[in-house]
Amino acid sequence: RRFHVAVVGATGAVGETMLSILAERDFPIASLSLLASSRSAGGEIDYRGEKIKVQDLADFDPKGVDIALFSAGGSVSKEYGPKFAAAGAVVIDNSSAFRYDDDVPLVVSEVNPDALKNRPRGIIANPNCSTMQMLVALAPLHRQYGITRINVATYQSVSGGGRSALEELGKQTGQLLSFQQIDPQRFPVQIAFNLIPHIDDFLENGFTKEEMKLVWETKKILGDDSILVNPTAVRVPVFYGHSEAVTIETRDKVTVAAARELLSRSPGVEVVDKHEAGGYPTPVTHASGNDAVYVGRIREDLSHPNGLNLWIVSDNIRKGAALNAVQLAELVAAEG
Ligand code: A2P
Q: Which of 4, 142, 242, 286 is the catalytic position?
A: 242
Q: What is the pLDDT of residues 218-274, one digit of tens each?
A: 999 999 999 999 999 999 999 999 999 999 999 999 999 999 999 999 999 999 999
Strands (DSSP E) contained in the chain are 3-8, 29-36, 44-47, 50-56, 67-70, 90-93, 123-125, 147-156, 228-235, 242-250, 269-271, 293-300, 307-314
Nearest CA to ligand 1 atom 19: 72
ipTM: 0.99
Question: What percentage of the chain carries pLDDT values higher than 90?
Answer: 100
* 3-state percent helix, strand, coil for the chain, nearest multiple of 5: 35, 25, 40
Residue 275 is among the residues annotated as catalytic for this protein? no
Describe the strand order of the beta sheet including 67-70 as a list of residue ranges.
44-47, 50-56, 29-36, 3-8, 67-70, 90-93, 123-125
Residue 129 is among the residues annotated as catalytic for this protein? yes
Ligand 1 close to Cβ of residue 292 (< 6 A): no
Nearest CA to ligand 1 atom 25: 37
Whether residue 38 has pLDDT greater than 80: yes
Ligand 1 close to Cβ of residue 161 (< 6 A): no
Q: What is the pLDDT of residues 282-297, one digit of tens each?
A: 999 999 999 999 999 9
Ligand 1 close to Cβ of residue 39 (< 6 A): yes
Reference 51, options 29, 34, 63, 30; nearest CA is: 34
So what's the pLDDT on residue 332? 98
So what's the pLDDT on residue 60? 98
So what's the pLDDT on residue 263? 98
Quick one: average pLDDT of 94-116?
98
Confidence of residue 336 (pLDDT cuts 50, 70, 90): confident
Burial (CB count within 10 angstroms: exposed 0-12, middle 13-18, buried 19+), residue 145: buried
DSSP string, 267-288: TTEEE---SSTT-S--IIIIIT
Q: What is the pLDDT of residues 189-226, one digit of tens each?
A: 999 999 999 999 999 999 999 999 999 999 999 999 99
Whole-model pTM: value is 0.98
Ligand 1 close to Cβ of residue 158 (< 6 A): no
So what's the pLDDT on residue 22? 98
So what's the pLDDT on residue 21? 98
Nearest CA to ligand 1 atom 23: 37
Quick one: average pLDDT of 130-157?
98
Ligand 1 close to Cβ of residue 77 (< 6 A): no
Ligand 1 center–CA 11 separation, angstroms: 7
Burial (CB count within 10 angstroms: exposed 0-12, middle 13-18, buried 19+), residue 206: exposed
